[in-house]
Chain A
């Protein structure tokens, strides 16, 4: 019995020893892996900051303005005007007193001349409408 305990203890010792040995090396492998990953993170971080700087440089307002001017033919971009913004509530209802003297048919492919004589009237008056 005593002998058996000794043997078991010895075997246990061997087992634990080899476990500790392998753990040690596994840990060292992980540590070097972590340091590799950290180096990679560092490099990626550098790359990211470089790309961020490049992105900001490529999008600098001076360059965009020049590009807009160069490509005016194609894009036709202009600075935003106050008149392009508004409140929906501020859009006027169509004026009921209609102008006379407008052409019967409107050619919408060209500019439309909408000058005419105003007739007095009130909102809600029903009059003949332009076809």
Chain B
């Protein structure tokens, strides 16, 4: 920019010649310069104001446009935030203690109909009724055309059925994906697993809920999304369970029994390794829970005899009287007990089948021959109150705490009052009912040296803590008595070589529904611990109305029915559990025999 001087020499000289004031020239030039500067400043200010206005307009347009866009769109979650892997399994698997699958989920499809989209309802109804025989053509057609817009046709479809429905090719037939509970082993451990069914159903998915057994008892755990990928580990061993069910079923057929139950439990941890109840059912397709009129609840295959079957367990209770009397210091195994006669008030007690065991027997012999009179005398020495306390402490008078939804409902039946007559009958397991599982837990307490056992169906990782119910030496003596029962008493058929089975039989007449007892219907129980020298497992076998036969006679005592079945189970499951048989040494001579 050329700067015009305020006093240009040429004009000054001219002005001086004319006699003008040269300062006027300077002022004029200064004025011109100031005007120019003013114009420039005004232009810049105008430009800045304009720029500011434009940027405000742009900014407001941008914000306003964005607001308009946001208001007109439906909000969508930013996609990158769906980072976590979506969990497919909505219900945790159930596995056995070795990790083998007992229950799992499988993707399947349900079939539903949008009636508005149906092209040819009569044809669809006809084709569906051919595919699924349980659907009636006229019913389907009525439901398609009675004005409803949506209806479920089937809850689950197999892949083949899905394809077949696809091939009908009607746009109104639609499939909803969903997970189905699957029990791949069929009837195996059915009473433990229970079953599952659909809860709230939607088109895209359906809720799976447990309806019985451990599926219902631990429903919250199985549905917990945080634990969905960690399977629930049961204490059950699939192989042992299968073996027990096989042997029990064979035994039930052979003995013409109405039902049977078996429980195999670890005496230290209370873990149930196998628990079977026959007859059984398929949890994939649970039968209706309604039983025929006049039938016993136990006739339903859904009835879990091992847990819900509250029976009089008979002479298996005798060992509790003997153990308690030893615990209290009232008797030793060698104390002589009156086995000739026992009356309480007007009631005279007799032995089973009118046996007579002579005037006296030792406590060990009373158990060995299963003398009602002898046990009654021992119980009277203990007294009703202490007996009641002890049986309660052993868990025989309360519902089992096991993780099955059926368990809390199966409360043992006990008499309201506890006079001496009850004391005597309870000592040999009559007039008082408990479940085979409670009996197994009580025998486990004897087997493990006197610690109370809480039965469980879950795999235990930590050692079990329980209160002491018997002194260690008393528990050892009790097991020795039980061993004598097998070696030379009422359960000789249970003597599996090498496994030193120790147990007690029990036979109880079945109660009539109207009161009193049947003469020819019994419940046979055999409760055992093995091996006797270091008990590790307890096995309880119960048979409902069995009829063993020997030499043409019908035998209804446990020794001929439940005992051989239990022996076969022990023979089969012992090797599977890695239990090595003891070599039973026969005493070489009289000196060692006496020493033993």
Contacts and interface: CB of A to CB of B under 8 A. Distances in A.
Contacts of A27: 80
A49 B188 contact: no
B86 A53 contact: no
Contact of A80 (B79, B238, B576): B576
Give the size category of B's interface with A. 35 or more
Interface string A32-51: 10110010011001100110
Interface in B63-107: 79-80, 82-83, 85-86, 88-89, 100-101, 104-107
Nearest to B581: A82
A82 B498 contact: yes
Contact of B581 (A46, A57, A85): A85
Contact of A81 (B239, B571, B579): B571
Contacts of B246: 61, 65
A31 interface: yes
Interface stretch (B179-187, B293-301, B484-492): B179-187
Most chain B C-beta atoms within 10 Å of own C-beta, residue among A60, A62, A79, A84? A60
A86 interface: yes
B455 to A, nearest CB: 23
A38 B106 contact: no
B431 interface: no
Given A35-B82, A82-B498, A49 B575 contact: no
Interface string A83-98: 1111100100000000
Decide if the interface of chain A is mainly helix, strand, loop or mixed. helix
Nearest to B105: A49
B575 A56 contact: no
A42 B88 contact: yes
Given A65-B246, A85-B580, A53 B106 contact: yes
A5 to B, nearest CB: 20
Contacts of B80: 27, 31, 34
A52 B104 contact: yes
Contacts of A42: 86, 88
A50 B104 CA distance: 9
B262 to A, nearest CB: 16
A62 B581 contact: no
Contacts of A62: 185-186, 188, 242
A38 B86 contact: yes
A36 B185 CA distance: 35
B460 interface: no
Interface of B: 79-80, 82-83, 85-86, 88-89, 100-101, 104-107, 182, 184-186, 188, 238-239, 242-243, 246, 496-499, 571-572, 574-576, 578-583
11 contacts: A49-B107, A53-B184, A56-B100, A56-B184, A56-B185, A57-B182, A57-B184, A65-B246, A82-B496, A82-B497, A86-B581
Closest 9 CB pairs of A and B: A61-B242, A56-B184, A56-B101, A80-B575, A57-B184, A82-B581, A60-B185, A90-B583, A45-B88
